[in-house]
């Protein structure tokens, strides 16, 4: 499991100061980017050095409680599945009262940077993700 903390910003809310629904994915993706960075395969490394990409091919989200501008949130990222060519993460978003405010899930597939064809998950990436599984 990986934990990420953030603060809900004004530009991520609607006129009532509530987190705009699609921005739950933005915060999940921020947690995903920080997770990759923490295991040494951040986006700068992926883009500049690796021969593969990890696009999201499926995303889903549920909203449990409202989040307001200024709220401090914690996002737990859990490895859901690791397959031959793909992996998935589940995100649990907690409000400052430590209540579950939302969940999300993303499924990523490994593709070759040049051909865009699906390829097996590279050993370095598999090892990094497996470390998080516990």
Q: State the catalytic residues.
A: 14
Q: Give me the residue label for tokens 């091919």.
A: 57
Dmax (CA) of the chain: 47
Strands (DSSP E) contained in the chain are: 2-7, 52-53, 56-63, 72-82, 86-94, 100-109, 111-112
| Alpha-carbon dihedral sign for residues 68, 4, 59, 45 | positive
């Amino acid at each position: 499991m990986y934990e990420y903390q953030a603060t809900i910003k004004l530009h991520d809310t609607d006129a009532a100061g509530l987190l705009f629904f699609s921005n739950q994915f933005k915060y999940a993706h921020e947690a995903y980017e920080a997770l990759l960075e923490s295991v040494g395969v951040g986006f700068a490394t992926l883009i500049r050095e690796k021969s593969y990409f990890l696009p999201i091919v499926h995303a889903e989200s549920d909203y449990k409680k409202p989040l307001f501008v200024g709220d401090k949130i914690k996002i737990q990222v859990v490895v859901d599945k690791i397959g031959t060519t793909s992996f998935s993460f589940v995100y649990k978003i907690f409000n400052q009262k430590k209540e579950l405010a939302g969940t999300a899930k993303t499924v990523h597939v490994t593709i070759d940077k040049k051909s865009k064809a699906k390829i097996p998950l590279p050993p370095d990436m598999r090892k990094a993700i497996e470390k998080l599984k516990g």
